[in-house]
Amino acid sequence: MKIERCEKESFVVIGKEGSSLDGAGFIQKLWDEANSHFEEVQHLAKKDENGNIGGIWGAMSDFSHSFNPWEDFNKGLYLAGVECSDDAEAPNGWTKWIIPGYEYIYVECESDDTFSKAIKYLEDNAIPLVGAVHDFTCPQTGKNYMFFPIRKL
């Protein structure tokens, strides 16, 4: 597992919000809903210099919307969405989150145990997890990553 670090200033994600209280498979249901109505937010998506969408995020937060880690790593909120410009407003049926700026450790999702391996790495190296973990999909490569916030900016 390759561990990388980056800093990312506060950013906006507009997506479909759900909760672990919604039951098994709720994350996939959110993605199905977001993907089937993507045309409603596509024009709001942040784009790179070539016009490509900047990022697809599965943003997470504790139930208070404070972006703290999920309780017991399995209870919290999830937002399946796209990174948007800061001034974008969420259309009806969509939710806007402003993710705080953090320094992250991020890893490519290469197996089902990526999360537990990364948490073990943080513990073994006495690196605190200071916020909720986020899923990220790079639209250009299709690769999936997990972003672990280790320091507030």
Q: Which residue has the tokens 């073994």?
A: 124
Q: Is the pLDDT of residue 49 over 90?
A: no
Instruction: Characterize 79-91 residue by residue with b for buried, 16 or more Cβ atoms within 10 angstroms of its Cβ, and e for exposed.
Output: bbbbbbeeebebe
Rounded-to-5 percentages of helix, strand, coil across the chain: 20, 40, 40
Residue pLDDT, tens place only, 96-152? 999 999 999 999 999 999 999 999 999 999 999 999 999 999 988 999 999 999 999
Which residue ranges form the domains of the chain, and what is each CATH number? 4-152 (3.20.80.10)
Query: Token pair for residue 89?
Result: 């407003």
Residues 6+ apart with CB under 8 A from 42: 53, 82
